[in-house]
Amino acid sequence: MRREKDIKRFMKKQYAKVARKGDSCCSSDFGPSNPIEQAKAIGYSQQEIRSVPEEAVMGMGCGNPIALAELKDGETVLDLGCGGGFDAFLAAHKVGQKGKVIGIDMTPEMIKKAAENAVKGNYRNVEFKLGEIESLPVEDSCVDVAISNCVINHSPDKLATFKEVFRVLKPGGRILIADLVTEGEFAEDVLDSLDKVWAEWLAGALGKQKYLNAVREAGFRNVAIAAENTFSMSEMDDRLKGKIISIQVKAYK
């Protein structure tokens, strides 16, 4: 199997390139080159897209966690893998000035870009921190809601990630995670034969039931799939079509 550090190193390099260029993570590799069109394709409205700094819309993700998170005024939100700040800024609108949003990303270039976008948009209730989701730089029991968009599937240790999220949530806190899972598992020889971007992107993905079991094992209750769709991109390898699923998972501490 691929070494965990190698996968993370590759993904960090990919996202750093996206941050520097301002392109979609999928441009020229495996999907639409227009970040705005990609955002629309995964469930964001034109109004949501226009409500944030343009540079924050980077075409990353596999769903719209904000749409199902039921964020309330005054809540504290944690965004795992915040990228350029798109979901964090949408969350900031929902929780208002009495609320707070904390964005975490492992890529320094993304944190820099997100901070610059926060200045452009005059967001005073958003904070961005460099860190890895398996070891969150956040205090215990201080978050009402944790969101994430197509990030945890990259983690080499999903159980550790969900345990960390459980740790930082307040009692009764909730998660709304948009992520990719597989229908069954891909053999190593199949991954080895794929385009490198697809291969590394999928190397850490779990089957749907294993993914949900990791959420439960971390301690969460009332684990449920709030939305589910077959995930597809125009340049997806034919062997992958119909076997990758976009899910949005909701659960409570």
Across 68-77, 152-161, 183-192, the highest mean pLDDT is recorded for 68-77
Question: What's the CA gap between 182 and 185, in Å, rounded?
Answer: 6
Q: Percent of the chain at pLDDT above 70? A: 80
Look up residue 109 and give its two tokens.
Answer: 């270039």
Q: What's the 3-state SS for 51-74?
A: CCCHHHCCCCCCCCHHHHCCCCCC
Q: Are 239 and 169 in contact (CB under 8 A)?
A: no
Look up residue 244 and give its two tokens.
Answer: 């990758």
Chain centroid, CA 207 distance in Å: 17
227-246 average pLDDT score: 74
Q: Concatenated DSSP letters for 140-179? A: TT-EEEEEEES-GGG-S-HHHHHHHHHHHEEEEEEEEEEE
4-54: pLDDT as tens digits: 666 677 777 777 777 776 544 444 443 446 888 889 988 999 999 999 999
Q: What is the pLDDT of residue 4?
A: 62
Q: What angle do CA 226, 61, 199 make, to 5 degrees?
A: 110
55-82: pLDDT as tens digits: 999 888 889 999 999 999 999 999 999 9
Query: φ, ψ for residue 231 (rounded to 5)?
Result: -95, 135
Contacts of 114 (CB under 8 A, 6+ apart): 56, 82, 83, 84, 85, 88, 103, 105, 128
Question: What's the CA gap between 121 and 89, in Å, rounded?
Answer: 9
Structural domains of the chain, with CATH: 4-252 (3.40.50.150)
Count the Cβ atoms, other than its own, within 10 Å of residue 209: 9
Q: Which of 25-34, 137-146, 207-216, 243-252 has the lowest mean pLDDT?
A: 25-34
Q: Which of 24-38, 70-84, 117-131, 202-216 has the lowest mean pLDDT?
A: 24-38
Q: What is the pLDDT of residue 187?
A: 64
Q: What is the pLDDT of residue 200?
A: 61
Q: Over the chain, what is the mean pLDDT?
A: 87
| CA nearest neighbour of 183 among 248, 238, 242 | 242
165-174: pLDDT as tens digits: 999 999 999 9
Count the Cβ atoms, other than its own, within 10 Å of residue 71: 23
